[in-house]
Amino acid sequence: MENIKFQVSPHQDELQLLIDGKKSGYMSVKIDGRVLIVYYTKLDEEYEGKGYAKILLDELVRYAEENDLLVDPECEFVRQQFENHPERYKKIWHA
């Protein structure tokens, strides 16, 4: 079984997905005051289509909630998830 961890990059511009200690994907982000802007989601090819983007989104949501941030979903994947499940994300959605 894979060991999955998350970390925020030192410059706070990425939420990184680490699988077995290797950076395997990330969300490009920027924190502007209380708003966490998500620009895009990128996964290594071997992890695409296997649910890892959703796992990364769940971690982004947890991070936003813990840090009292609103999320501006400029990333197409994140925006689609917010639009498809508005009740789930309404407390953190910066529309």
Q: Is residue 94 part of a domain?
A: no
Q: Is residue 36 part of a domain?
A: yes
- 47 Cβ contact partners less than 8 Å away, ≥ 6 residues apart: 17, 19, 24, 25
* 6 and 15 Cβ atoms separated by less than 8 Å: yes
Amino acid 1: pLDDT: 61
Q: Is residue 70 part of a domain?
A: yes
Amino acid 95: pLDDT: 75
The pTM score is 0.91
Distance CA 56, CA 43 (A): 10
Mean pLDDT across 2-29: 94
Tens digits of residue pLDDT in 55-69: 999 999 999 999 999
Tens digits of residue pLDDT in 16-48: 999 999 999 999 999 999 999 999 999 999 999
Q: Is residue 58 part of a domain?
A: yes
Which range of residues forms the domain containing residue 62?
4-89
The fraction of the chain above a pLDDT of 90, given in percent, is: 94
Count of structural domains within the chain:
1
CATH number of the domain that residue 16 is part of: 3.40.630.30
